[in-house]
Amino acid sequence: MTASVSAPELQAQLARLTPLREAIGQAIVGQHDVVEQLLIGLLAGGHCLLEGVPGLGKTLLVRTLGQALDLQFRRVQFTPDLMPSDILGTEILEEDHGTGHRHFKFQPGPVFTNLLLADELNRTPPKTQAALLEAMQEKTVSYAGVTHELPAPFFVLATQNPLEQAGTYPLPEAQLDRFLLHVKVDYPSEAEERAIIEQTTGSSSAKVPQVMHGADVLALQARVREVHLGADLLDWITRLVRASRPGAGAPAE
């Protein structure tokens, strides 16, 4: 077990998130709870499933987060005809112009990034949804017998529309288990909506300052793993997890 980080040292590390929140606020109006939950998921090394109607700025939020952290951002629009190779990558036949020798070369797909927005994940068939399982759990992609490492940090943000029923596929339990947080994105308040209109109807767009790097995110994730968990808290977490399972001792429905 690694040594636990002291409370003052942890507070000093977490204080670095204040300029990050301010940088995100340059482009995102409101949605403070959503931003906070995304930061929790990021620092905990997990992935987040965002649920909300279209037009609430989910794509802008992920792009802004990537800009503030100086991380690469990719977006994949999940559609019924999307194939696993459209996400993971594929092999292409490449020819050496000097020797004329031909060989297959792996061409990485959009999953090879730091921040991946899987937009409307439940609009694609389960076979394509399953393409993300290894990437989200192992941070690797296996193709043609070769395992490729994903860049670190690797963070998946998936969205689904709660109002869309036709043409969607339910996310399987294995897919849902890969997400640390299920985040509900709601409409902004009246004052926030007025501020959004004012901000987006001007001639200039907000510039998001870069306040951290990928190495800083990895360092903060390492600090999170060093936080001490007391015996009482461990007992409470264990009871909570066991109570969520069916069987003896589980609460009645």
Residue 252 pLDDT grade (very low, low, confident, very high; cuts 50, 70, 90): low
Residue 218 vs residues 28, 44, 72: alpha-carbon distances, Å? 24, 10, 15
Half-sphere exposure at residue 61, Cβ-oriented, CA atoms within 13 angstroms: 26
Mean of per-residue pLDDT scores for the chain: 83
> What pLDDT is stored for residue 219 in this prediction?
86
- Beta-carbon contacts of residue 12 (< 8 Å; ≥ 6 apart): none
pLDDT for 69-106, tens place per residue? 888 889 999 988 889 889 998 888 777 777 777 777 77
Question: What is the CATH number for 191?
Answer: 3.40.50.300
Please report whether residue 66 resides in a domain: yes
Residue 173 pLDDT grade (very low, low, confident, very high; cuts 50, 70, 90): confident
Instruction: Count how many domains the chain has.
Output: 1
Tell me how far apart the alpha carbons of residues 92 and 28 are, in angstroms, rounded to a whole number.
40
Q: Which residue has the higher pLDDT, 2 or 41?
A: 41
Taking Cα atoms as reference points, which of 49, 42, 36 lies closest to residue 179?
49
pLDDT for 129-157, tens place per residue? 888 898 999 999 988 788 889 998 999 99
Please report whether residue 87 resides in a domain: yes
Range of the domain at 107: 17-211
Distance spanning both ends of the chain, measured CA to CA = 38
Please report whether residue 233 resides in a domain: no
> What pLDDT is stored for residue 47 in this prediction?
93
